[in-house]
Amino acid sequence: MSKKTLIILLTGAFVVLLALFLIIDKGEVKFKKSEKEPLFGNFSGTNVSFIKIYFRDYYEREKTFDYTLFRSNDYWYISYSNIVDRVDHKLGDFLANILADIEKLETLSNDLPLDPMETFGLNNPNAIIVFDINKKTNKITVGNLTPTKDYYYSIVNDSTNAFYLIYAYKIDNLLKYPYDTRDKNIFTREWITNITGIEYKPINSNVVFVFTNKNKSWYSLSPTEKELDSVYIENSFLKDLRSLNISFFVDDKRKREKLLKTSPEGYIKLFNPTNTFLLSILKVEGTNIYCYDPQRDSVFAIDYESSHYLFTSPLERFLKITNK
């Protein structure tokens, strides 16, 4: 056998082995990977208006979660238990985009076990994901992980004619705990710019400040009429206010009712040309400042150390210092 012939034979054997490696999953069942093709066709996350998720906790298998994410007026919301709340819009868009990026990986039909639904864990699924594409409902039923733990066995729209492998990291990124999806930002996008007025009652004060924005310059209307430090208000006070994050939500009914029964210790009200936003300061306790957002109907805590100066500022901090 010539050296050239030997090289050709070895090359051919390598190609065959490589092909076998690409179509065989290292488990009990063999799968082939199709060309990269979206499982539900070509669409974008903007075509999704709701995502209904059920899943069993990865660690506490008896614990289950069932909730719905839905889009309304360009915002994402979550509904679970007796709670309906806003979702961070970036997270909502991220989850919708994952659905648009799920690839099609088909099984080899002649290598299926006798009872694939049982073998693949689809009779007692780990997760069920229902969502729409332009108002048409789709469903993914998620079974067990493959032996390599890279994929989940799945079926689509309850059809057992085909079984799919879906990348595990994509499914895992969809299965968020419901309380982790809630928006920890206090202010929505409409309050990032174009604030025309502020009404402010500091904690431990009976005086209410009323400020107005005239052509990007701030003035005090009450308790005195004076020019304010516009740079401080825009680049410090409002900037820091917008950056506040919620530490945790108060969903316990008793604690929530108890906090709401107390008279607010202070508040900040913001105005823009079309809306008003009110943040009530209910109570300062330990390392927490408890607040109420009536627009969202949510009671929550923010960190005292990083935010108390925003709710205790005297008028002098806002006044413009003029050289005499």
Residue 108 has pLDDT above 60, yes or no: no
The conformation of residue 310, written as its DSSP 8-state character, comes to: G
What distances in angstroms separate CA 239 from CA 17, 129, 230, 258, 313, one per listed residue?
61, 39, 12, 31, 15
Residue 18 has pLDDT above 50, yes or no: no
Reading the block at residue 128, the tokens are 């069920």
According to the model, what pLDDT value does residue 310 have? 95
Please, which residues have CB within 8 angstroms of residue 255's CB and are 6 or more apart in sequence?
A: none
According to the model, what pLDDT value does residue 189 have? 87
Rounded Cα distance, 267 and 283, in Å = 11
According to the model, what pLDDT value does residue 12 have? 54
Rounded Cα distance, 35 and 309, in Å = 57
Phi, psi dihedrals of residue 252, rounded to the nearest 5°: -60, 125
The beta-carbon contacts of 90-95 under 8 Å, at least 24 apart in sequence, are 91/176, 91/181, 92/181, 93/45, 94/45, 94/173, 95/45, 95/51, 95/69, 95/173, 95/174, 95/176
Residue 24 has pLDDT above 60, yes or no: no
Rounded Cα distance, 295 and 315, in Å = 27
Coil/strand/helix, residue 254: helix
Rounded Cα distance, 93 and 81, in Å = 23
According to the model, what pLDDT value does residue 78 have? 97
Higher-pLDDT residue of 320 and 315 is: 315
Residue 17 has pLDDT above 50, yes or no: no
Share of the chain above pLDDT 90, in %: 76
Residue 236 has pLDDT above 60, yes or no: yes
Report how far apart the first and last C-alpha atoms of the chain are (Å, whole number): 103
Cis peptide leading into 116, omega within 30 of 0? no
According to the model, what pLDDT value does residue 322 have? 67
**Average pLDDT over the chain, rounded to whole?**
88
* Helix segments in 78-197, DSSP class H: 89-100, 116-119, 168-174, 178-181
H/E run at residue 15: helix 3-23
Rounded Cα distance, 148 and 154, in Å = 15
Reading the block at residue 113, the tokens are 């076990």
SS (H, E, C) 30-54: CECCCCCCECCCCCCHHHCCEEEEE
According to the model, what pLDDT value does residue 58 have? 87
- Model confidence at 251, pLDDT cuts 50, 70, 90, reads very high
Lowest-confidence range among 34-48, 69-83, 196-210?
34-48
Lowest-confidence range among 29-43, 212-226, 257-271, 299-313?
29-43
Residue 295 has pLDDT above 60, yes or no: yes
What distances in angstroms separate CA 132 from CA 51, 67, 101, one per listed residue?
7, 15, 14
Reading the block at residue 226, the tokens are 């004076």
